[in-house]
């Protein structure tokens, strides 16, 4: 069990509750004082007693604001920064709301405004900011730094950090680890936005792993979105559920959910993706121009393959799967059978296994059976339905056998 799960689990079992009334103020003052190599005596001189400053740093008292401003002035902390410091918990709540609604400009504002602060709550804000920018390497460094001081976190801070840690794991394609984390996160004592974010993360994880209970997690996320007034999120939830039904060839359920999508671009894109997977070229050629990037690229692959290949290579990024995205497009942009063979073995199957995604595994195995004109891979894909747990080991064996 990771140190994060250990801390979450321990607080749950022991019913530990950590308040945070003035904790961040004390942490900020202590960290800045040490960074400036000031002693307690020097900092408290002509402001307050040494014991009073000790109590502030240890969070044993809520400091007098007049004393606090003088102390912060000596530590070169402006009045604006002090005011921001007092509002950090509200700012962190705002970060969660902004992430839910895609308002990344607020997350950037919070990070830029607080630059120079030195406490764990602002570091969590910086962590969320880096995740919103998908700066995974930098976010990963901060993640490990924060793991060292988890015991100092208030319950609220720990919950928010755990939620964004799960998002980081998703960006790193560590879906199983992220799903395991969710078991220990209890946002019930936190804000309604934290509860909703947890529900959406769980739904996205089950969707990404193409799990059978994905619709159940969709219903929970949709219910909370309605309950808390985040109606704009529901369109996105409907889109992902429709993709799930496309992947699993549930035509009736797909038609039901797509009728609930009011956004024309999303509904057109879904029809385009479905037509592509069903090799229904006429629908693709006549598809509306109002499509999202992924569906537009699928259409271009049918209309002008060479142009599509150039665009796919120009836009190539790490495998971030909002739809099937780059992994899928990179494969489709290959023209030679030998290149497609190599891609499936080198990237397609290993990543599908890592994602624990039965759709991608079956798709690539079916492709292999077509490319190699052999039935052995198709038989393997069909066998998956009967022996789910053994499927990935068998697929891994095929990859290893090919590499040898």
Can you give the pLDDT at residue 121? 93
pTM of the shown model: 0.80
| Residue extents of the structural domains in the chain | 1-171+180-190, 287-403
Is residue 76 exposed (0-12), middle (13-18) or buried (19+ Cβ within 10 Å)?
exposed
Residue pointed to by tokens 């070169």: 76
* pLDDT tens digit sequence for 357-396: 777 777 887 787 766 655 544 444 444 333 333 433 433 3
Confidence (pLDDT) at 322: 56
CA–CA gap between residue 220 and residue 160 (Å, rounded): 20
Q: What's the CA gap between 367 and 248, in Å, rounded?
A: 17
Give the Cα-Cα-Cα angle 294, 358, 303 (nearest 5 degrees).
25
Whether residue 136 contacts residue 172, with contact meaning beta carbons closer than 8 Å, is answered with yes
Per-residue pLDDT reduced to its tens digit, 241-270: 999 999 888 999 999 999 999 999 999 999
Q: Alpha-carbon distance 340 to 236, whole Å?
A: 32
Q: What is the dihedral of CA 134, 136, 140, 143, to 10 degrees?
A: 10
Instruction: Check: CB of residue 91 under 8 Å from CB of residue 99.
Output: no
Query: What parts of the chain have a pLDDT lower than 50?
Result: 1, 21-22, 376-404
pLDDT tens for 121-159 read: 999 999 999 999 989 999 999 999 999 988 888 888 999
Separation between Cα atoms, residue 29 and residue 75, nearest integer Å: 8
CB 247 within 8 A of CB 208: no
**pLDDT recorded at residue 19:** 54
């Amino acid at each position: 069990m990771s140190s994060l799960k250990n801390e979450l689990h321990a607080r749950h079992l022991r019913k530990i509750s950590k308040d945070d009334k003035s904790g961040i103020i004390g942490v900020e003052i202590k960290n800045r004082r040490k960074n400036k190599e000031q002693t307690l005596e020097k900092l408290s001189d002509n402001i307050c007693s040494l014991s009073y400053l000790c109590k502030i740093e240890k969070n044993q008292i809520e400091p007098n604001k007049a004393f606090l401003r003088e102390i912060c002035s000596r530590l070169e902390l402006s009045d604006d920064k002090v005011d921001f410091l007092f509002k950090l918990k509200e700012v962190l709540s705002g970060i969660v709301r902004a992430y839910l609604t895609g308002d990344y400009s607020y997350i950037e504002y919070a990070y830029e405004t607080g630059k120079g602060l030195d406490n764990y709550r602002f570091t969590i804000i910086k962590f969320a900011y880096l995740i919103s920018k998908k700066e995974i390497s930098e976010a990963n460094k901060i993640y490990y730094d924060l793991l060292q001081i988890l015991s100092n976190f208030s319950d609220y801070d720990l919950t928010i950090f755990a939620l964004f840690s799960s998002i980081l794991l998703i960006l790193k394609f560590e879906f199983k680890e992220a799903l395991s984390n969710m078991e220990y996160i209890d946002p019930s004592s936190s804000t309604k936005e934290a509860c909703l974010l947890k529900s959406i993360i769980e739904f996205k994880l089950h969707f990404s792993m193409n799990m059978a209970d994905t619709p159940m997690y969709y219903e929970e996320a949709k219910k909370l979105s309605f309950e808390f007034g985040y109606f704009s999120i529901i369109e996105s939830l409907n889109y992902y559920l429709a993709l799930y039904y496309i992947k699993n060839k549930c035509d009736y359920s797909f038609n039901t959910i797509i009728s609930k999508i009011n956004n024309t671009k999303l509904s057109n894109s879904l029809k385009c993706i479905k037509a592509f997977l069903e090799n229904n070229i006429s629908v693709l050629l006549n598809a509306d121009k109002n499509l999202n990037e992924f569906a537009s690229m699928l259409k271009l692959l049918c209309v002008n393959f060479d142009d599509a290949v150039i665009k796919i290579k120009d836009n190539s990024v790490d495998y971030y799967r909002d739809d099937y995205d780059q992994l899928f497009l990179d494969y489709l942009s290959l023209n030679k059978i030998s290149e497609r063979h190599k891609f499936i073995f080198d990237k397609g199957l290993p990543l599908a296994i890592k994602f624990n995604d039965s759709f991608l595994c079956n798709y690539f195995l079916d492709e292999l059976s077509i490319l190699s004109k052999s039935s052995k891979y198709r038989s393997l894909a069909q066998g998956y339905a009967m022996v789910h747990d053994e499927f990935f080991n068998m697929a891994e064996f095929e990859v290893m056998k090919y590499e040898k």
